[in-house]
Structure 1
């Protein structure tokens, strides 16, 4: 067989493997999917206001939960995406001068986010990296203090110390990629950092400021309509 024919056939197979139907990724396409998201705060804690032990700080733990997402291709390269979750629960642990005391409270959070994405390469590309930016509203709820917090707090009120975490806006930047399994189905993965600060108030009147700045990892499987 002619070597040129073999080379052309091999090139055609390679191109077929690297491309999908343009109709699946072009402007006007809706997409959605399901996956898992891990939120891991990078906690930098202030000190609890008096009366409190010296250097009383906190560290906030990570959580992983199933999530959904839905999006729309505004152009062949620009898209918008809305992640949909049902809440995450984070342990609040002692740090600084009270490190080693373990969990002193918990809080739930429902992050309400909207992302704009710029997707590189052509709509026919099977692999498309992208950058993203957006805004997140962190809706904290279901906060509770622990017996350890009651024991540590010199201003512990009758009935125990309760906590309230302020709901705040933050902004996000990140990187991601999609890989088309076929014309409709795809795999999506992205990482984002959200810049977020909040204040926690105890029912004793004490306050503590915390920078959370979580890393957010999401992996999912999606479908284009």
Structure 2
């Protein structure tokens, strides 16, 4: 009889442990991986005085990334990605295509999304969709001699570029594939719809639609 009670208690504890590590309400998931951001640039023209059709392009950038996900319910999660700034190169486009690198800027997208995860907490594969908001922050801009040459700057008075921080709506889709009760693989595709305005120390400005697409892959640990 005692053996039966012991076996029942052990089975109950195992079931509770399994539930605690599943993607169920109240659990936390921490991930570490990498993110690659690919801007889909639509540039306006640099304001006068400038050559008609003076535009810019912004290159892709990749970085180590992390994130925290909290399961609010068995199917609804709140996700907060984390990373260090991404370094993007600003290059000439339009009438000044071929001029090469004009500047470099570090971008840090602060994003918060609500996700709907399909399936049940113990599912091996859980696809999800999400929506939220991103605050795109731009910092530590570095201009090149090419930018000064185009805008009348000089070695003693180089042209400096800055970019405005902006909010943008965000949508995503992805999946989590479970290896064990604690370890999973997470892959996410995120689209941010965001515009910014670049300012030069010469008084000129340029409007730029960034609308980046971000690819993220990470290893997830469930608490």
Q: Do these two structures clear the TM 0.5 threshold for a shared fold by scoring above it?
A: yes
Mapped partners of 1:130, 1:101: distance in 2:
42
Mapped partners of 1:49, 1:196: distance in 2:
20
Mapped partners of 1:203, 1:63: distance in 2:
26
TM, length-normalised to structure 2? 0.89
Cα offset, 1:94, TM superposition: 0.2
**Is 1:144 aligned to 2:127, yes or no?**
no
Mapped partners of 1:150, 1:218: distance in 2:
36
Q: Deviations over 1:38-86 (max 9, x none)?
A: 1110000000000011110000001000011011100000000111111
Q: Which residue of 2 aligns with 1:190?
A: 188
Q: Deviations over 1:131-166 (max 9, x none)?
A: 011111111000121111111114x36511001100
Cα offset, 1:109, TM superposition: 1.1
Query: Runs in 1 of length 4+ with deviation above 3 angstroms?
Result: none
Secondary structure at the counterpart of residue 149 of structure 2: helix
Q: 2:161 aligns with which of 145, 160, 163?
A: 163
Q: Which residue of 1 aligns with 2:126?
A: 128
Q: Which residue of 2 aligns with 1:18?
A: none
Q: Which residue of 1 aligns with 2:74?
A: 76
Instruction: Note the residue ranges of structure 1 that are not aligned, 5 or more in a row.
Output: 1-20
Instruction: Note the residue ranges of structure 2 that are not aligned, 5 or more in a row.
Output: 1-17
Mapped partners of 2:147, 2:176: distance in 1:
44
| RMSD value, Cα | 1.3
**Equivalences for residues 1-225 of structure 1 within 5 A:** 21-23=18-20, 24-154=22-152, 156=153, 159-225=157-223
TM, length-normalised to structure 1? 0.89
Mapped partners of 1:193, 1:82: distance in 2:
15
CA contact (8 A) 2:43 2:209 kept: yes
Mapped partners of 1:25, 1:209: distance in 2:
42
Mapped partners of 1:46, 1:32: distance in 2:
40
Cα offset, 1:169, TM superposition: 0.7
Secondary structure at the counterpart of residue 176 of structure 2: strand
